[in-house]
């Protein structure tokens, strides 16, 4: 029988993505065994996150400073904005350090069924950023799902007439992928999005 405190901790941890009650109990036991070493470290890290983390007022990224490290970085290309659904997508893109511009986090995707409307996302703020000028290109990096693509088309239409280039991530053949193993839908998409080769 576990104490009330341990139960409460297990219950909180069990709600973390990918955990669940069984893994949460295992994590709690592990922490209890290391309450002199690992537990203080974890407490400190949690407190630091609670006290310092803020949402960037410009792009919606989560960081310890506002504007966030990416928006404040003057070496980044100020004329490019990459629009993503969630912070996780921003981090995924930035981990690879391939995109040198700045970001804009929408905070979700349009879904009539789930009741997510344009005003629930930071689309207005994005349009404002573009209208304020100084932006050459907006990269729409939405997921290839129905809602993701609906959101991308919606934003593209809203920006119609603004003096920016609107681009979208390519869909199709993955790098290192073999045609033989691809499903028809992906192959068809790759074929539609084919491009001329220099040479």
Partner 1 sequence: MALDRITLSTFRNHRESRLDGSAHFNLLIGANGAGKTNLLEALSLFAPGRGLRRARLPDMAGMNGNGGFSISAALNPGDGGEAVILGTGTEPVRPSRRIVQVNGADTSAISLGEWLSIGWLTPAMDGLFTDSAGARRRYMDRMALGIDPGHARFANRYEAALRERNRLLSDDREPEAPWLDAVEMQLSEAGAALAQGRERLIALISAVLDRLPDQPFARPTLHYVPGGPSDQQMLATELARNRRRDRAAQRTLIGPHRDELEVTMAGKGVPAAHSSTGEQKAMLLAITLAHAELSSDGRPSLLLLDEVAAHLDPVRRAALFERLRQGSGQIWLTGTELAPFSEIDGEAAIWRVSAGELERLS
164 sits near partner 1 (criterion: CB under 8 A): no
> Which of 31, 67, 158, 167 is the binder for partner 1 (CB under 8 A)?
158
**CA separation for the pair 61, 25 (Å, rounded):** 32
188 sits near partner 1 (criterion: CB under 8 A): yes
112 sits near partner 1 (criterion: CB under 8 A): yes
Q: Kindly list the distances between the CA atom of residue 191 and the CA atoms of 167, 169, 176, 177, in Å, as whole numbers in the listed order.
A: 18, 15, 17, 14
Q: How many CB atoms lie within 10 A of CB 64?
A: 12
Smallest gap from Cβ 147 to partner 1, in A, equals 8
143 sits near partner 1 (criterion: CB under 8 A): no
- HSE, CB side, 13 Å, CA atoms: give it for residue 177: 13
Report the run of H or E that residue 121 belongs to, with start and end.
Answer: none
* 68 three-state secondary structure: coil
**CA separation for the pair 81, 166 (Å, rounded):** 10
Residue number with CB closer to partner 1 (55 or 120): 120
> Which of 96, 113, 175, 197 is the binder for partner 1 (CB under 8 A)?
113
Smallest gap from Cβ 169 to partner 1, in A, equals 16
183 sits near partner 1 (criterion: CB under 8 A): yes
CA angle 69-92-61, nearest 5°?
35
Residue number with CB closer to partner 1 (80 or 151): 151
54 sits near partner 1 (criterion: CB under 8 A): no
**Residue count (the chain):** 199
Q: How many residues bind partner 1 (CB under 8 A)?
A: 19
**CA separation for the pair 118, 158 (Å, rounded):** 11
Window 92-111: contact mask with partner 1 (x via CB under 8 A): ------------------xx
Enumerate binding residues for partner 1 (CB under 8 A).
110-113, 118, 146-147, 149-154, 157-158, 183-185, 188
């Amino acid at each position: 029988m576990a104490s009330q405190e341990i139960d409460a901790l297990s219950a909180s941890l069990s709600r973390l993505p990918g955990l669940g009650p069984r893994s949460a109990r295992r994590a709690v036991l592990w922490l209890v065994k290391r309450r002199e070493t690992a537990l203080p470290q974890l407490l400190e890290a949690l407190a630091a996150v609670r006290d310092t983390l803020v949402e960037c007022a410009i792009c919606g990224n989560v960081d310890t400073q506002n504007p966030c490290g990416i928006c404040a970085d003057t070496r980044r290309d100020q004329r490019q904005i990459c629009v993503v659904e969630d912070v996780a997508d921003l981090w995924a893109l930035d981990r690879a350090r391939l995109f040198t511009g700045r970001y804009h986090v929408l905070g979700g995707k349009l879904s009539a069924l789930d009741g997510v409307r344009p005003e629930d996302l930071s689309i207005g703020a994005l349009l404002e950023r573009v209208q304020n000028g100084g932006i050459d290109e907006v990269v729409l990096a939405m997921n290839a799902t129905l809602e993701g693509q609906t959101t991308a088309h919606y934003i593209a239409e809203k920006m119609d007439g603004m003096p920016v280039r609107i681009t979208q991530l390519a869909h199709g053949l993955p790098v290192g992928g073999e045609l033989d193993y691809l499903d028809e839908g992906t192959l068809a998409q790759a074929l539609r999005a084919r491009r001329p080769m220099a040479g």
